Amino acid sequence: MSASRVNRNFGGAPKIRMIVCIEKHTIEKLDQFVEAIRERRPGQGNRSEFVRQAIEEKMQRECA
């Protein structure tokens, strides 16, 4: 699967690349979900952006 490129503007904030290991079945389910997003909204559906948003949402819930 080719990754779509999303040029996010981080507003000049520093970025760090994070590499994670995730179970294969989880990635397969994620890829199916992201592909469904792409079918509904071409140009959308980026795996790394989905994971970034999920981390931020989880932190908001847990750290609130």
Give residue-wise pLDDT tens across range 1-27: 444 455 566 777 888 889 999 999 999
Residue 15 lies inside a defined structural domain of this protein: no
Residue 49: pLDDT over 90: no
pLDDT at position 30: 92
pLDDT at position 43: 66
Please give the tally of structural domains in the chain. Answer: 1
Identify the domain containing residue 54 by its residue range.
24-63
Contact status, residue 49 vs residue 10, Cβ threshold 8 Å: no
pLDDT at position 22: 94
DSSP letter, residue 2: P
Quote the crossing angle between the two packed helices 24-40 and 47-63, to the nearest 10°: 110
Residue 59 lies inside a defined structural domain of this protein: yes
Higher pLDDT, 64 or 53: 53
Contact status, residue 4 vs residue 38, Cβ threshold 8 Å: yes
**Residue written as token pair 């520093």:** 14
